[in-house]
Amino acid sequence: MTPQLTDKYMVTIAERLTSAYARIANAAKNAQRNSSEITLLAVSKTKPSTDIAAAYEHGQRQFGESYVQEAVDKIAQLSALSDITWHFIGPIQSNKSALVAQHFDWVQSVDRIKIAKRLNTQRLADFPPLNVLIQVNISTEEAKSGCSVDQIPELAEFISQCEQLTLRGLMAIPAKSDDPAEQIQSFEQLQTCFDKLKAQYPHIDTLSMGMSGDVEAAISAGSTMVRIGTDIFGTRT
């Protein structure tokens, strides 16, 4: 297909998306894994719906958003692209949980029972169950969202009993590090949590970890979903 030369912008997103897939394939190969086991989530927060449409045009279907109202507006603007799968990946405030339950297919940032309970009640009965990841905080920084490793079993137990929620696995955002050895250490800790959880809930299939700065380390530690924003859509202001 000939790129639209008048729209360089669109070509750029397509090219960056191709590079992101190549990077995943290369990381998978180095980890002796099959790249088909790894989903690329394109993180489009703060970017306009035209950017999402450009990525869609290039075949991308999984998108991640972090700010509820901004996301709901973009989802409405793009409602014609009905096969997009929308993932909510930002912190969830109680007063916004209904919007999340009504507009998303996945929520990756469930870190407390109170929010799980609200999402379950607010997810309408004629919708398929909401896919849920438990967000885990493995770094000790207090400000970060996510439950502690110790809290995973209780939260998983609760979610697994919710009719309108389907537990799919774990998500984490480890403390930023430029040191690959440090990155791998955090991701391996998460892999251990995931393996433990999977022993109890064999149907879970998603370990969401790795972003623009640490895709390789995450894939070497078993990530099944990398969340890439900057490398596809450019820096955020």
Ligand X SMILES: *Cc1c(COP(=O)(O)O)cnc(C)c1O
Task: Pick between residue 185 and residue 213 the one whose CB is nearest to ligand X.
Answer: 213
Alpha helices in the chain, H assignment, sequence order: 8-30, 49-57, 68-77, 97-103, 113-122, 152-160, 180-200, 215-220, 230-233
Helix axis angle, 49-57 to 8-30, nearest 10°: 60
Alpha helices in 4-138, H assignment, sequence order: 8-30, 49-57, 68-77, 97-103, 113-122
**Cα–Cα distance for residue pair 176/32, rounded to 1 Å:** 25
**Cα–Cα distance for residue pair 117/43, rounded to 1 Å:** 26
Looking at residues 28 to 67 of the shown chain, list those that interact with ligand X (rule: CB under 6 A). Answer: 43, 45, 66
Position 89 contacts ligand X (CB under 6 A): yes
Instruction: Pick the piece of the chain touching ligand X (CB under 6 A) from 6-14, 95-103, 159-167, 222-230.
Output: 222-230
Interface mask (CB under 6 A) for ligand X, residues 111-150, using x and -? ----------------------------------------
Least Å distance, CB 126 to ligand X, is: 29
Secondary structure of residue 35 in the 3-state scheme: helix
Count CB-CB contacts under 10 A for residue 93.
10
Task: Pick between residue 46 and residue 164 the one whose CB is nearest to ligand X.
Answer: 46
Query: With CB under 6 A, what is the number of residues at the site for ligand X?
Result: 13
Least Å distance, CB 200 to ligand X, is: 25
Instruction: Pick the piece of the chain touching ligand X (CB under 6 A) from 16-24, 110-118, 162-170, 228-236.
Output: 228-236
Asked if residue 97 lies in contact with residue 113, where contact means CB atoms within 8 angstroms, the answer is: no
Instruction: Pick the piece of the chain touching ligand X (CB under 6 A) from 8-16, 29-37, 141-149, 223-231.
Output: 223-231
Chain contacts with ligand X (rule: CB under 6 A): 43, 45, 66, 89, 173, 211-213, 227-231
